[in-house]
Amino acid sequence: MQDIPKTMSAAVLTGHGGYERLELHHDWPVPTPQAGEVLIKVAACGVNNTDINTRIGWYDDSVEGDSSSKAADGLDSVSDDSVAGWGNTGIHFPRIQGADPCGRVIALGDGVLQDWLGSRVITDNWLRDWNEPMNLNKTGYYGSERDGGFAQYTTMPILNLGQINAPDWTDEELATLSCSYNTAEGMLERSGVSEKDTVLITGASGGVGSALIQLAKRRGAKIIALTSASKADQVAALGPDALIRRGQDNWSDVIRSVNGTDKVSVTADVVGGPVFADLMSVLARGGRYVTSGAIGGKKVEVDISHLYLFDWSLIGSTINEPYVFRNLLNYIENNEIKPLLAQTYPLEKIHEAQAAFLEKKHVGKLVITLPE
Amino acid sequence: MQDIPKTMSAAVLTGHGGYERLELHHDWPVPTPQAGEVLIKVAACGVNNTDINTRIGWYDDSVEGDSSSKAADGLDSVSDDSVAGWGNTGIHFPRIQGADPCGRVIALGDGVLQDWLGSRVITDNWLRDWNEPMNLNKTGYYGSERDGGFAQYTTMPILNLGQINAPDWTDEELATLSCSYNTAEGMLERSGVSEKDTVLITGASGGVGSALIQLAKRRGAKIIALTSASKADQVAALGPDALIRRGQDNWSDVIRSVNGTDKVSVTADVVGGPVFADLMSVLARGGRYVTSGAIGGKKVEVDISHLYLFDWSLIGSTINEPYVFRNLLNYIENNEIKPLLAQTYPLEKIHEAQAAFLEKKHVGKLVITLPE
């Protein structure tokens, strides 16, 4: 067994606020795995919206509008004891964030079989009561209600880990997956996407958006990707059937070129805000709108007469059934999806990585690498 | 075979507007059943919101707000060629409304077996392309896209008819069912209500609301009925587990008394408008909001961050799978539901019946009886 140091480097969030609350420490205590848990030496950990949303306290109900513009300075309305996490309570500080680690198991808590030692793992980020895994009132999120992967070492229950056999994938590539692909696959699962559907995907250059393209394609659906003109070529390379550039107004023509009608059967949205009304205007009768994010704004207007007369379903998708993560492991091992790694940053450049994330000039995922 | 007269009494809608557009005629031509259809001598036909919504053109997108206040005079913004029906086009006038007839088959179109003659029938009101019964773009509604039951005679395809063997039910009682109970059962089916659920039902004294109480009870769910104080006693007699009176503010206490939590798993709403925000405030994580009406107002604000973080589904429910109506026939014949007939009006008092309907002092259904 490898020597376990007492301290480690970690990015530590000390409260809700700007970058100044996200501190780099090199003498942070290495955690100890509890019964049923393992200690993981983290190689790489992906950057996600939730890191920034949690830091600035965007999940608190006092916050309106898009999150990007407030990410550098934080929000006056949010105090450190706001209810601004994924569980029913607030975040406990200090907190190590980071939902997407890839690493190797180097120590075992009580009750864990020796076979786990040395396993290469990624995480199912939903912290659950494993006696009631779908009791939504007993869930939390890794890196929010529990310390995550922006540190050299982290612990997780083995029920939340996937042992992954993917020799073609680097650690950085595997660190692009868990949060975005679980979210995306959960959205497609909950909205029942199949080869019969045409799916309109917003934020198509982002982590969840690009995952949605790959995973909806895997299901045989027709795909229309909504993205900015500047990233259209890169998004086109992901293989959607058609693109709509932000600001373009002939959406119906684009849809018609794909499925012969002027409507889509599914909209998979992570943006919300002003684009919501446009999305509703092209949703077919019986259509499903599924969302897992609202970086463009939380509050939207819904016409209930359309909702019922058109037999629409508006589906929120956050907490997945455990099988969604297990399926994802198979997709990776069967080469049904491929990594979209845009850039890596060492841990000490995590502020720079978040700033780049918010500028949104990249396509795919940014990943933090941890020092050896 | 009975003699078929050439003309009949009928309430004829001549265009969108006030009561003056709903004209009584005594020399209206009796329709001829086409192939696959039958001629029905109507005994009674229930009054529904859709009669009034269609008359005033409330389904047109130019119309906001609740429908009741505009029902007497009609709406300036709605012309006779507005898209204000259930299909993708406008209503063709003159039109005989009435979605809920109970009657007897007295003549057969081509291809219909003699067995149908004399059958007592009620209707599945969804006009379908029976080669593609769930193609939502090919549906219409009986009494909207086709002449309905506010007349002595009407025609329907036999695929839309249920032959009913319910000797304990009068014709007037059977005429309370189709529109409201199909709508209510469709809502419960689409939101998957079972004995695990607590269902909050709005408009509980109305046709759909009172049907929802009976049908959700039949499924073993716990039921909380929202109604006005003046009708609380009558609604309580329908057997909900608890009542919330409109204006009452301790909703959480009431819910706790029923299921030990402060949230419900399902909200079945036909009201919309201002009450929507209150309904969302008591919807549990993973909860389903299902709607088939918005008489209180169409436009509501939805917080997408709640929709996704709480894993809610907002489900519009209008067009049902054909099996919903077939199940309903069984519920009637098995005495699993009972009629809620508030009052009957002869055809010539149809204006009076609609005015009483809009006053909403009744519990259950108002029914028009047709002259012999």
Per mean pLDDT, which range of A49-53, A367-371, B351-355 is the poorest? A49-53
- B358 vs B88, which has greater pLDDT? B358
Q: What confidence score (pLDDT) does residue A59 get? A: 79
Q: Tens digit of pLDDT for each residue in A290-301? A: 999 998 999 999
Whether the CB of A83 is below 8 Å from some CB of chain B: the reply is no
pLDDT at A74 over 70: no
Q: What confidence score (pLDDT) does residue A71 get? A: 63
Whether the CB of B86 is below 8 Å from some CB of chain A: the reply is yes
Confidence grade of residue A90 (pLDDT, cut at 50, 70, 90) = confident
The reply to whether residue B311 touches residue A316, judged by beta carbons under 8 angstroms, is: yes
Residues of B in contact with A294 (CB under 8 A): 304-305, 308
The reply to whether residue A308 touches residue B317, judged by beta carbons under 8 angstroms, is: yes
pLDDT at B223 over 90: yes
Q: What confidence score (pLDDT) does residue B70 get? A: 61
Contacting residues for B302 by C-beta, under 8 A, at least 6 apart: A299, A300, A301, A302, A314, B280, B314
Q: What confidence score (pLDDT) does residue B72 get? A: 63
pLDDT at B174 over 90: yes
Question: In angstroms, how far is CA B346 from the centroid of its own chain?
Answer: 20
Q: What confidence score (pLDDT) does residue A202 get? A: 97
DSSP string, A333-353: HTT-S---EEEEEEGGGHHHH
The reply to whether residue A317 touches residue B301, judged by beta carbons under 8 angstroms, is: no
The reply to whether residue B299 touches residue A298, judged by beta carbons under 8 angstroms, is: no
Average pLDDT over residues B262-273: 97
Per residue, what are the HEC states of chain B?
CCCCCCEEEEEEECCCCCHHHEEEEEEEECCCCCCCEEEEEEEEEECCHHHHHHHHCCCCCCCCCCCHHHCCCCCCCCCCCCCCCCCCCCCCCCEECCCEEEEEEEEECCCCCHHHCCCEEEECCEECCCCCCCCHHHCEEECCCECCCCECEEEEEHHHEEECCCCCCCHHHHCCCHHHHHHHHHHHHHCCCCCCCEEEECCCCCHHHHHHHHHHHHCCCEEEEEECHHHHHHHHCCCCCEEEECCCCCHHHHHHHHHCCCCEEEEEECCECCHHHHHHHCEEEEEEEEECCCCCECEEEEEHHHHHHCCCEEEECCCCCHHHHHHHHHHHHCCCCCCCEEEEEEHHHHHHHHHHHHHCCCCCEEEEECCC
Q: Write down the mean pLDDT value for chain B.
A: 93
Please say whether the beta carbons of B350 and A340 come within 8 A. Answer: no
Whether the CB of A293 is below 8 Å from some CB of chain B: the reply is yes
Average pLDDT over residues B243-251: 94
pLDDT at B289 over 60: yes
Q: What confidence score (pLDDT) does residue A91 get? A: 87
B302 → closest Cβ in A86, A302, A308:
A302
∠ CA B36-B41-B46 to the nearest 5 degrees? Answer: 100
Question: How far off is chain A from B97, nearest CA to CA, in Å?
Answer: 18
Q: Prior bond to B157 cis, omega within 30?
A: no
Q: What confidence score (pLDDT) does residue B209 get? A: 95
Best A307, A317, A318 residue to mutate vs chain B (most B CBs within 10 Å): A307
Distances from the Cα of B15 to the Cαs of B68, B79, B130, B310, in angstroms? 18, 8, 29, 45
A307 → closest Cβ in B137, B284, B316:
B316
Residue from B371, B339, B344, B368 nearest B143 by CA = B368
Q: Which two structure tokens, joined as six digits, stand for A128?
A: 């659950």
Cβ burial, residue B246 (10 Å; 0-12/13-18/19+): middle
pLDDT at A368 over 90: yes
Domains and their CATH numbers in chain B:
7-177+339-369 (3.90.180.10), 180-316 (3.40.50.720)
Q: Tens digit of pLDDT for each residue in B67-90? A: 666 666 666 667 777 766 766 667
The reply to whether residue A309 touches residue B86, judged by beta carbons under 8 angstroms, is: yes
Whether the CB of B323 is below 8 Å from some CB of chain A: the reply is no
Per DSSP bridges, beta strands B222-227 and B264-269 are unpaired
Q: Is A32 helix (H, G, I), strand (E, B) or coil?
A: coil
The reply to whether residue A304 touches residue B136, judged by beta carbons under 8 angstroms, is: no
Q: What confidence score (pLDDT) does residue A3 get? A: 80
Average pLDDT over residues A60-64: 73
Confidence grade of residue A73 (pLDDT, cut at 50, 70, 90) = low
Cα dihedral angle (B219, B168, B117, B131), rounded to 10 degrees? Answer: -10
pLDDT at A332 over 70: yes
∠ CA B64-B70-B73 to the nearest 5 degrees? Answer: 135
User: What number of other Cβ atoms are within 10 A of residue A203's Cβ?
Assistant: 25
Confidence grade of residue A66 (pLDDT, cut at 50, 70, 90) = low
Residues of B in contact with A300 (CB under 8 A): 301-302, 304
Buried b (16+ CB within 10 A) or exposed e, B193-219: beeebbbbbbbbbbbbbbbbbbbbbeb
Q: Tens digit of pLDDT for each residue in A202-218? A: 999 988 999 999 999 99
pLDDT at B1 over 60: no
Confidence grade of residue B242 (pLDDT, cut at 50, 70, 90) = very high
Q: Write down the mean pLDDT value for chain A.
A: 93
pLDDT at A106 over 60: yes
Question: How far off is chain B from A201, nearest CA to CA, in Å?
Answer: 16
A313 → closest Cβ in B284, B303, B316:
B316
Buried b (16+ CB within 10 A) or exposed e, A48-73: bbbbbbbbbbbbbeebebbbbebbee
Confidence grade of residue A188 (pLDDT, cut at 50, 70, 90) = very high
Q: What confidence score (pLDDT) does residue A133 get? A: 94
Q: What confidence score (pLDDT) does residue B57 get? A: 85
The reply to whether residue B305 touches residue A59, judged by beta carbons under 8 angstroms, is: yes
Percent of chain B clearing pLDDT 70 (strictly above)? 94
Confidence grade of residue A85 (pLDDT, cut at 50, 70, 90) = confident
Distance, CA of A78 to CA of A91 (rounded, Å): 12
Q: What confidence score (pLDDT) does residue A60 get? A: 77
